[in-house]
Amino acid sequence: MAMNITQKVIKKHLVSSNMAAGEKIAIKMDQTLTQDATGTMAYLQFEALGVPRVKTKLSVSYVDHNTLQTDFMNMDDHRFLQSIAAKYGLYFSRPGNGICHQVHLERFGIPGQTLIGSDSHTPTCGGLGMIAIGAGGLDVALAMGGDPFYLSMPKVVLVKLTGKLQPWVSAKDIILELLRRLTVKGGVGKVIEYGGEGIKSLSAPERATITNMGAELGATTSIFPSDEITRAFLKAQKREKAWIKLEADAKATYDEVVELDLNKLEPMIAKPHNPDNVVSVKELEGTPVQQVAIGSCTNSSYRDMMTVASILKGKTIPPDVSLVIAPGSKQVLEMITRNGGLTSMISAGARILESACGPCIGMGNAPSTKAVSIRTFNRNFEGRSGTKDALVYLTSPEVAAAAALKGVITDPRKLGKKPPKIAMPKTFIVDDNMVIPPLPLKKAALVEIIRGPNIKPLPEFKPLPSMIQGKVLIKVGDNITTDHIMPAGAKILPLRSNIPAMAEHVFAPIDSAFPKRAKEMGGGFIIGGANYGQGSSREHAALAPMYLGVKVVVTKSFARIHLANLINFGILPLTFANESDYDQLERDDELELDVSGLNGKNLKLKNKTKGVDIDVKHPLVGRDIEIIKAGGSLGFVKARG
């Protein structure tokens, strides 16, 4: 049978079930990655499994999120992560080595393999032909322990690219256009697979920009073929032996096909406060800009940095604009330092940040009050920048550099007919001196785990009772993000390994009294709208509410990763059988739910305050039901032995 790329990789790694869309499947994971904001909890969970050494082909622990050291907490976490890596057989990418997705693309990604990472932008490595999936830290811990990853077999959507990008139009504009067409819910339950003649003009880093931001579509992952362009990139990284040819069969079929003519594409921009709020740049020309931030795992490659450096060369940014630039990896930073690109940036007035996530997760460089901030990042949720009333726009490096020079949103095509032409290096500088390889078994056995005072034990996981009673603790609308539920930023991220402290900030951007109310009421219910839990993979958006006693979340629909995280931590996810019943519930309503019939799909939610019964349903099958009954995946795995 003819197969597409997605089917080929999944079939090779399939552990159970069959590849019918919607069927629950289990696939073996070859690689894992974590970053420090999610990694501390993931490794506490891995320790709880009692496995002496990771069982994957390769696992890497990165430090790239919590690099702002204003007190002991982040540094303590980094020491903990380094000792964990040494003891359990992981590679450790030290602070300063770069953003996990950029580094993994450069140094570890392998076409045809599978990767699971505790970061929603793990699909970046789909640019190399990997099935790379973002997930909660517990799913990553289980994969390191040798368990497969469970998911619903996704539909496969072919995005057929024709033509060629015109001058000043970039790969970022491709994914922004897809977000404009499909929205942040358009990829839910799907893999976005790229094909067509148009892919031949896209380098591996450009493909990675597109697959990275496929996370904003809600897609399970995105993937490109592994072809001669992939091979050239791996050869330049001195990893040509990792290359395999991987492409769809000539008669492969897809569940959907989306056609995009690159010849007709123009510079695009996402307006506040959602990545799918996309228009052409020319529609917003002249809007004054106060800040420009260039970098993130979406746009911090060598090509991106040199494009910006070439645009800025010999010029000076206006006094009303703050420009910050973060190269994506030590490799990128070293190369633009040696060839003069960094000098062009500094001379133009840019502030150079370390090779880390930084402003993208609100870790420094927050905009001024009500500022317009142009960013080459992947998310522009309200308040994510660190300034609640800032207006954050998402663009390509070309558009960002043009805005930095002109002080207003500017179509980069007005900078000249010929854009900078950045050739991919035939050889990258390869120096992995900031990556610590796994220790041999005998030495690893002698390593002691270093735990700072901010690293607290895992919360207790309690089995699901047959009857759940409680009040509606909060009711929220559509497209609630994990940033709304469990915010990031410099003040809260250092608490990631301290759930009691972090739980004090649940729903802080929406209702700062939520934690106090939840504790006083002994927990209860959360009511949400459509696409609840979109955005980051942070499992703390499930774990911290669980700690506060939340037992059930009822919504119109869930984002994929957050749904999995709720199940992992024993919170029952339900959806309305009739979405109009959302209007039947209000905060403080007294609810009752009999879950003794959980093996069936349909349940009755009693609103005792209003005297109405509401039909709800759950997406759980087989193993998921047992996990919920056990109070979460850790309890389930321990009971399984």
DSSP 35: E
With CA atoms as reference, report the closest residue to 542 among 575, 510, 511, 568. 568
Q: Are 485 and 506 in contact (CB under 8 A)?
A: yes
**Residue 489, token pair as written in the block:** 């930023």
Residue 259 and residue 110: Cα distance in Å, rounded?
28
Strands 590-594 and 524-527: unpaired
Sheet holding 155-162, edge to edge: 221-223, 190-195, 155-162, 256-261
Q: Can 538 be counted among the known catalytic residues?
A: yes
In a 3-state reduction of DSSP, which class is residue 420? coil
- Residue 147 annotated in active site: no
Which ranges of 50-170 would DSSP assign to H, the alpha helix?
A: 72-88, 100-107, 137-144
Told to judge if 379 belongs to the known catalytic residues of this protein, a careful annotator would answer yes
Q: What is the dihedral of CA 387, 393, 399, 405, to 10 degrees?
A: -30
Question: Pick the catalytic residue: 30, 36, 59, 64?
Answer: 64
Residue from 61, 301, 536, 557 carrying the catalytic annotation: 536
Q: Which of 30, 36, 77, 119 is catalytic?
A: 119
- Out of 13, 36, 65, 540, the active site residue is 65
456 and 497 Cβ atoms separated by less than 8 Å = yes
Please state, in angstroms and rounded to a whole number, the distance separating the CA atoms of residues 576 and 565.
19
Q: How many residues does the chain have?
A: 641
Q: Do 376 and 293 form a contact (C-beta atoms < 8 A)?
A: yes
Say which DSSP state 556 is in.
S
Asked whether 217 and 120 are in contact (CB, 8 A), the reply is no
The values of phi and psi at residue 178, to 5°, are -65, -40
Check 538, 540, 560, 618 and give the catalytic one. Answer: 538
Catalytic status, residue 65: yes
Catalytic one of 379, 384, 496, 505:
379
For residue 389, indicate whether it is catalytic: no
Residues known to be catalytic:
64-65, 119, 379, 536, 538
